Structure 1
Amino acid sequence: MKHKAIPLAIPCLLATLTLLGTPAQAVEGLSANVGFTSNYLWRGVSQTDDSAAISGGLDYAAENGFYAGTWVSNVDFSDDASYELDFYLGFGGDINENISYDLGYIYYAYPDSAESDKDNEYDFGEIYAGITFSNITLAANYGVHNDDGAGWADKALYISADAEFEVAEGLTLNLHLGDYSFDDDYDSGDYTDYGISLSKSGFTLALTDTDLDNDDVKFTVSYAIGLDL
């Protein structure tokens, strides 16, 4: 489920970003991102068996608020899956100078998860909605469909709150609280995750924890860059 070898998809993506970065290929609204983290955490749970991850993505944003993109990272669940490939699209905008909104859909794919066991395929999708009041964001993600191997994702609800503050020039403090609840048909314990991070110039230092049994506080170091293409 979503909870080492770097896949071929990532170096191929980086090569694509290099090609698109030339002036002749510039596209209005198209951007890219490349990142590294010491531990890929998703809703407080490691997706890489507490190991490092390299990721990259492509995004398109139109002036009318529509956006779409894709993102890839290596994962390690101690099975066939070696990478995650996400696709998403949505619409966002400003209600006024202090309030903005975001609505969309995201599909989490693990293309090689069922290479040796066809019942181990666990792709799943979510619809999401968020609203930002100044520096505070409230969001909800809801599972809308899933493969047989991702029964936990069906009707699962993740609600989160994030607050962001500039504590010094270029230095941002982020506070996070999330609650993950699962449908009664799936035998899994609901849990809460929380974290604090500091970011500057693409670098992020973070402390993350959950209320899951036998889970320890995790410290991560990440670096990401964005590129206009």
Structure 2
Amino acid sequence: MYKPGAAKLKKYLAVSALLAFSTALSAPALAQEEGSEEGGFGSLSGKLKLASNYMYRGLSVSDDGPQLQGSFTWAHDSGFYAGVWASNTSAGGEGNSVEIDPFVGFAGTVGDSGVGYDIGFWYYSFPGSVADLDYWEIYGILSYTLGEADLGASVWYAKNYFGDDFFPDTPSYALQTTASYPLPIGEGVSVSGKLGRQIFDESAALTAQDYTYYDIGVSKAWEAVTLDLRWHDADGVKPDLAAPENVGSLVASIVFSF
């Protein structure tokens, strides 16, 4: 995750802030990829991602270094899914270099309306950290296909943002919209983007930390391989939350689905 500024570095054991799963991948998408192993008890799928930087909500959480990220998801026909996500990270404080996140949720569609929904729980853990930085988020996602465009909106809530040793007792919300559209320049080529707002509950220890984040990029998919080139950025990020050099980056990535 992103590296906090000097004030928080001294107070919170050189903590780097919040980590989550890759913005391009949602749990239901992981569960429904081609090539998953299907059976009477559901299907199993996974992804492996290599990227030039690990960006989360506009902020680098690998200190502008490369990312290796993997995930496995089991999904049932009922809509229930569960899995685990992991990545290297510069977040998690002293002694930590990896994040391992279990998740669980339920996804489906609203009748014949074309509206999809996804409700879930995500737990962020930093097993090597000497600080207490583990926390959870619950999320709700709506999706809709309008012509050839795929649209989405979501809300994420954390009761205690990044654990007891970062911003103690500080709830946070992330409100996010996404859109993607196929480009007429070749099969599997699309443009997509995201616009979000990270909102913190102000307290005596944390004020005026809200910020806006966004990304835009192009991708090309061949069967189980996807290449992506994307610009990530954020506006209004304060030094307590992230160092200026860790805000915004152009990222190239390749994802293998299985």
| Aligned counterpart in structure 2 of residue 170 of structure 1, from 188, 206, 211 | 188
- Percent identical pairs in the alignment equals 29
Match of 1:226 in 2: 257
* 1:203–1:224 Cα contact (<8 Å) kept: yes
Match of 2:10 in 1: none
Match of 2:13 in 1: none
1:39 CA displacement = 0.4
> Alpha-carbon deviations, 1:63-109, whole Å to 9, x = none?
00000110110011473210011111000101135210010100010
Match of 1:110 in 2: 126
Rounded Cα–Cα distance in structure 2 between residues aligned with 1:48 and 1:153: 25
Amino acid at match of 1:38: S
1:149 aligns with 2:165: yes
| Aligned counterpart in structure 2 of residue 79 of structure 1, from 71, 91, 94 | 94
1:124 aligns with 2:166: no
* 1:130–1:138 Cα contact (<8 Å) kept: yes
1:28 CA displacement = 4.2
1:113 CA displacement = 1.1
Rounded Cα–Cα distance in structure 1 between residues aligned with 2:199 and 2:60: 18
Match of 1:9 in 2: none
Match of 1:17 in 2: none
Rounded Cα–Cα distance in structure 2 between residues aligned with 1:88 and 1:55: 15
> Alpha-carbon deviations, 1:145-197, whole Å to 9, x = none?
46311436842000000001111320111111010011112415110001101
Match of 1:133 in 2: 144
* 2:219–2:229 Cα contact (<8 Å) kept: yes
* 1:127–1:144 Cα contact (<8 Å) kept: no
Match of 2:55 in 1: 41
* 1:124–1:153 Cα contact (<8 Å) kept: no
- The aligned length equals 203
Match of 1:13 in 2: none
TM superposition outliers: structure 1 runs of 4+ over 3 Å: 25-28, 213-217
SS of alignment partner, residue 78 of structure 2: coil
Match of 2:17 in 1: 2
| Aligned counterpart in structure 1 of residue 107 of structure 2, from 74, 92, 108 | 92
Q: What TM-score do the two structures reach when normalised by structure 1?
A: 0.81
* 1:152–1:183 Cα contact (<8 Å) kept: no
Q: What TM-score do the two structures reach when normalised by structure 2?
A: 0.73
The CA RMSD measured in Å over matched residues stands at: 2.3
SS of alignment partner, residue 149 of structure 1: coil
1:64 aligns with 2:75: no
Match of 1:16 in 2: none
Structure 1: where are the runs of 5+ without partners?
4-20, 115-119
Amino acid at match of 2:122: I
